[in-house]
Amino acid sequence: AQSVTQLDSQVPVFEEAPVELRCNYSSSVSVYLFWYVQYPNQGLQLLLKYLSGSTLVKGINGFEAEFNKSQTSFHLRKPSVHISDTAEYFCAVSEIGTDKLIFGTGTRLQVFP
Amino acid sequence: GAGVSQSPSNKVTEKGKDVELRCDPISGHTALYWYRQSLGQGLEFLIYFQGNSAPDKSGLPSDRFSAERTGGSVSTLTIQRTQQEDSAVYLCASSPTRTYEQYFGPGTRLTVT
């Protein structure tokens, strides 16, 4: 079985500062990795995904994430955040061969002016 | 184009009543998923339909929960004899074949009183 740990439930940051949202996973088999974002009162939206190839993946809105197999991590980063990045961010995995997502508990990113 | 739609957007029901939640996936998407988002449990996978294959029901929390997908399109999630712990936002997602990108609907907020 897979599990996902998002170590930070909340991350406060000032506008234009860099941010890293941490995600670690546990799985006995190979997985695909995802980050989803949920803006206030909106549905979940895919930010980026890692399936194979380069371990650094770029997503929408200037976000990127790096897959580290040895540390079983998939941390999300942005070099300079905007107020509009305020949202809840979810890391998720799916076992290769299945499509269901197993989500972490989410990290609330709060960007202050 | 049109995204995933869900109805109703809000549903308040009395404990013990049955409810039906509807999901209209994006046209042409072969896979359809149901998830539940609640304060205590986070985002949980419920059930997954892929084409004509037997659904993956491994996430359904009890036999009070069932789902069907008619004609490979619209899906209905049914909860019988609702309990207060069923209160949550029920999310539907759809996906084109083997893209590993799930597109989420806005959800149905279910409140059991």
Instruction: Please report, in tens digits, the pLDDT of each residue of chain B (113 residues total).
Output: 689 999 999 999 999 999 999 999 999 899 999 999 998 778 999 999 998 888 999 999 999 999 999 887 999 999 999 999 999 999 999 998 777 889 999 999 999 99
A57 φψ region: left (φ > 0), alpha (ψ -120 to 50), beta (else): beta
pLDDT for the residue A2: 83
Residue-level pLDDT at A64: 97
Q: Do the chains contact at A46 and B91, CB–CB below 8 Å?
A: no
Residues of chain A short of pLDDT 50, as ranges, are none
Question: CB-based contacts of B22: which residues, under 8 Å, 6+ apart?
Answer: B6, B7, B74, B75, B76
Which of B49, B90, B88 has its CA nearest to residue B68? B49
pLDDT of residue B65: 97
List the beta bridge partners of residue A74: A67
Asked if A105 lies within 8 A of B107 by C-beta distance, the reply is no
Q: What is the pLDDT of residues A26-40, one digit of tens each?
A: 998 889 999 999 998
pLDDT at B2: 83
Cross-chain residue pair A44–B104, CB shorter than 8 Å: yes
Cβ–Cβ below 8 Å for A90 and B35:
no
The DSSP secondary structure of B45-94, one letter per residue, reads EEEEEETTSPPB-TT--STTEEEEESTTS-EEEEE-S--GGG-EEEEEEE
Report how far residue A65's alpha carbon sits from residue A54's, in angstroms, rounded to the nearest whole number. Answer: 11
Chain B residues within 8 angstroms (CB to CB) of chain A: 4, 31, 33, 35, 42-45, 48, 50, 56, 58-59, 91, 93, 95, 100-107
Rounded to whole angstroms, how far apart are CA atoms B104 and B37?
Answer: 12
